[in-house]
Amino acid sequence: MDKPTLKRAFELICQAKSMTELYEKEFKLVSKYVHATSRGHEAIQIALGLQLLPQDYVFPYYRDDAMLLAMGLTPNELMLQLMAKRDDPFSGGRTYYAHPSLRDPDKPKIPHQSSATGMQTIPATGVALGMRYKEIQKLNEKGLKDLPLTVCSLGDAAVTEGEIAEAFQMAALKQLPILYLVQDNGWDISANEEETRSNSAKEYAEGFHGLDAISVDGSDFIESFEAVQRAFKIIRKERRPLLIHAKVPLLNHHTSGVRMEWYRDDLEEARSRDPYPILKTQLLNAGFSKQELSDMKKKAEALVQDHFKSSKEAEDPKP
């Protein structure tokens, strides 16, 4: 993998990790606003976010702040939503953290969505159906080198919801240009995978003929990046759906209101799969020095601190 991509990925994982740590440190301030972070999920999210194009549509879920950073949003923009500030670019301070809606010309498009688990799959599949219809009717935007695609991101527990079956069925039947990214951390709030489902997202998807699925180690940035790269190439050229089942550790609370120390007995094992040291080792193997990595980490931490301060001091919404 080229060094600029590895460097950018490390900068982003440092930012996302620093944000989680700062929110925990400033818990008394930020806990009044319900939020979840990507801690443990960063590698797969960054791998995907870096490869999206402005013509693509993305339906993230509430744990995807690292993906949003990789798409080009700043910590400050995310924190303005976290603290319900007037200049929150998504909703003017009216929705939860990492609940984006975006129509910037230089970034992928994000329709607004609900917090309901898995609800985004049906509108996401509808957008992919719209893309397919425009192609059939020869209404495509002219001059695009790469055809657009849709990404629907969701957690593993959401796959047990009925609307997921509806979405998968239509995507497989109509052969729609959509990638379903299932981030599997093995937890559904406080219930683990053994208590909530009989198979994995990949095994479930294989029951829908026409929807191919692969599993990846979502803690490994290089493996994740290459898997997303292959999937995007197939979807953009062959116009058919795919699912990536990414196994990841949950290294933070389910949300700010559901603390991991209340019920988790697997934290030591989960921390052994932390994507941060894995990516750090990959950069060292690629020729980066320990000093370079230390400098990038310190720069990211300083940036996050500065953005937190400015967000905290920003104006509140008008009634």
Global pTM reads 0.95
CATH of 3-312, one of 1.20.1260.120, 3.40.50.1440, 3.40.50.970, 3.40.50.720: 3.40.50.970
Q: Annotate the chain with DSSP letters as a single string.
A: --HHHHHHHHHHHHHHHHHHHHHHHTHHHHTTS-----TTTHHHHHHHHTT--TT-EEE--TT-HHHHHHTT--HHHHHHHHTT-TT-TTTSS-S-TT---B--TTS-BB----SSTTTTHHHHHHHHHHHHHHHHTT-PPTT-SS---EEEEEEGGGGGSHHHHHHHHHHHHHT-SEEEEEEE-SEETTEEHHHH-SS-HHHHHTTSTT-EEEEEETT-HHHHHHHHHHHHHHHHHH---EEEEEE----S-SBTTB-GGGT-S-HHHHHTT-HHHHHHHHHHHTT--HHHHHHHHHHHHHHHHHHHHHHHTSPPPP-
* pLDDT at residue 255 in the model: 67
| Residue at token pair 């990516």 | 279
* pLDDT at residue 89 in the model: 93
Per-residue model confidence as pLDDT tens for the chain (319 residues): 999 999 999 999 999 999 999 999 998 888 878 888 899 999 999 999 999 999 999 999 999 999 999 999 999 999 999 999 999 999 998 888 889 999 999 999 999 877 778 899 999 999 999 999 999 999 987 888 999 999 999 999 889 889 999 999 999 999 999 999 999 987 677 677 766 788 899 999 999 999 999 999 999 999 999 999 999 999 999 999 999 999 999 888 776 666 667 677 777 888 899 999 999 999 999 999 999 999 999 999 999 999 999 999 999 998 7
28 Cβ partners below 8 Å, 6+ apart? none
